[in-house]
Amino acid sequence: MSEEEGEGTGAEKPRYETLEDLPGIGPSTAQKLRELGFHTVESLAMATVRELEPAGISEKKALAIISAARSSIGIAFIRADELLRMRQNVLRLTTGSKALDKLLDGGLETQTITEFYGEYGSGKSQICHQLCVNVQLPPERGGLNGAALYIDTENTFRTERIVQMARHLGLDPQNVVKNIIYAEAYTSDHQMFLLENADEVIKENNVKLIIVDSLTAHFRSEYLGREMLAVRQQKLNKHMHKLIRLARAFNAVAVVTNQVMAKPDMFFGDAIHPVGGHIVGHTSHTRIYLRKASHGPIRIARLVSSPYLPEGEEIFKITENGIEDISEEEKAKSSGR
């Protein structure tokens, strides 16, 4: 390690711990900012001037606040070699399957969004459950020693399932369950509100995994028809931006799920049409398409897009224990899938 790898420039940077510590923020402004969902210095560092407007903060003052927050947590123009160093802070979370981890070059990355999409029953929520347990493992077992935040829109989260998975990994189920912070979102607006107000919970609980399962269900049922499409995509886009900013600010893994239906007649060459459409595709950095093998517990995962990994396919299975690799025997049998 070189000397330069420490805190950097040598100039003392002020560290602001709470909103009130930032220059120009008194108790009433802090209160308004909290109402807007900015509870931490980290979240202000990622804010835009326009987002602070509703708190009655002038453009000039907003710029000053954001820039103070940024300097406090060290965001600025950086050289590409420093960018590389930031990339080196990226941590990886195991899926529980070596094959699936291999597809992802070692597991799910922090600081980016991973989207699992597929038909009903393809295993999206099962993977989410497994990740909630795995994130609590120590790094040597593929975890991040952190907690999970689960935003559930379809009421499919089951504590019993977490207990099964935790037991299988030799973890104390009571502790594991305590480290999963759960919120059910009743509407798309509520879903957005939950994420917009999540920063404090994330910080206080050392959350290293943020899940939105399903990302698209409410949006799909509330914004019907062609004329609603633009509004829906705009809202989804905003929601995804919030998620990516949280993942970056707290070096956390972000996971969204997206249910798709096979519509072979609609788009030629594109038999599967993701509900979120292309905007979801743009903002989510890694996309994995899940499908069932002809029968049984075996699932096929295809890495469809990634900023730097090649496309590929791997198989795994869902059992009582959770997400697991398949045996050689099962592999031979499933080759006729």
Residues that bind ligand ADP (CB under 6 A): 118, 120-126, 156, 297, 318-320
Least CB distance to ligand ADP at residue 46 (A): 30
Least CB distance to Mg ion at residue 122 (A): 9
Site membership for Mg ion, residue 40 (CB under 5 A): no
Least CB distance to ligand ADP at residue 322 (A): 8
Q: Which of Mg ion, ligand ADP, none has residue 318 at its interface (CB below 5 to 8 Å by kind)?
A: ligand ADP
What does the alpha-carbon distance between residue 36 and residue 43 come to, in Å, rounded to a whole number? 11
- With respect to ligand ADP, which residue has the nearer C-beta, 37 or 118? 118
Site membership for Mg ion, residue 125 (CB under 5 A): yes
| Cα 1 to chain centroid, rounded | 31
- With respect to ligand ADP, which residue has the nearer C-beta, 29 or 125? 125
Site membership for Mg ion, residue 188 (CB under 5 A): no
Q: Which of ligand ADP, Mg ion, none has residue 319 at its interface (CB below 5 to 8 Å by kind)?
A: ligand ADP
Site membership for Mg ion, residue 130 (CB under 5 A): no
- With respect to ligand ADP, which residue has the nearer C-beta, 42 or 325? 325
User: Which residue from 327, 308, 326, 310 is spatially nearest to 318, judged by alpha carbons?
Assistant: 326
Q: Which of Mg ion, ligand ADP, none has residue 277 at its interface (CB below 5 to 8 Å by kind)?
A: none
- With respect to ligand ADP, which residue has the nearer C-beta, 16 or 150? 150
Least CB distance to Mg ion at residue 109 (A): 22
Residue 114: beta bridge partners?
255, 286
Least CB distance to ligand ADP at residue 318 (A): 4
- With respect to Mg ion, which residue has the nearer C-beta, 156 or 251? 156
Least CB distance to ligand ADP at residue 195 (A): 19
Beta strands (DSSP E) in the chain are: 92-93, 108-109, 113-118, 147-152, 180-184, 207-213, 253-262, 272-274, 286-292, 298-305, 312-319, 322-324
Least CB distance to Mg ion at residue 214 (A): 6
Q: CB 32: neighbour CB atoms within 10 A? A: 16
- Site map for Mg ion, 138-177, x if CB under 5 A? ------------------x---------------------
**Contacts for 276 with CB less than 8 Å, ≥ 6 apart:** 215, 216, 219, 233, 236, 258
What does the alpha-carbon distance between residue 246 and residue 307 come to, in Å, rounded to a whole number? 19
**DSSP per-residue letters across 51-86:** HHGGGT--HHHHHHHHHHHHHHHT-S---HHHHHHH
Token couple for 250: 């707290």
**DSSP per-residue letters across 157-217:** --HHHHHHHHHHTT--HHHHHHTEEEEE--SHHHHHHHHHT-HHHHHHTTEEEEEEETSSH
| Cα 73 to chain centroid, rounded | 21
Q: Which of Mg ion, ligand ADP, none has residue 197 at its interface (CB below 5 to 8 Å by kind)?
A: none
Least CB distance to Mg ion at residue 40 (A): 30
**Ranges within 85-124 binding Mg ion (CB under 5 A):** 124
Q: What are phi and psi of 270, to 5 degrees?
A: -145, 75
* Residues of this chain that bind Mg ion (CB under 5 A): 124-125, 156
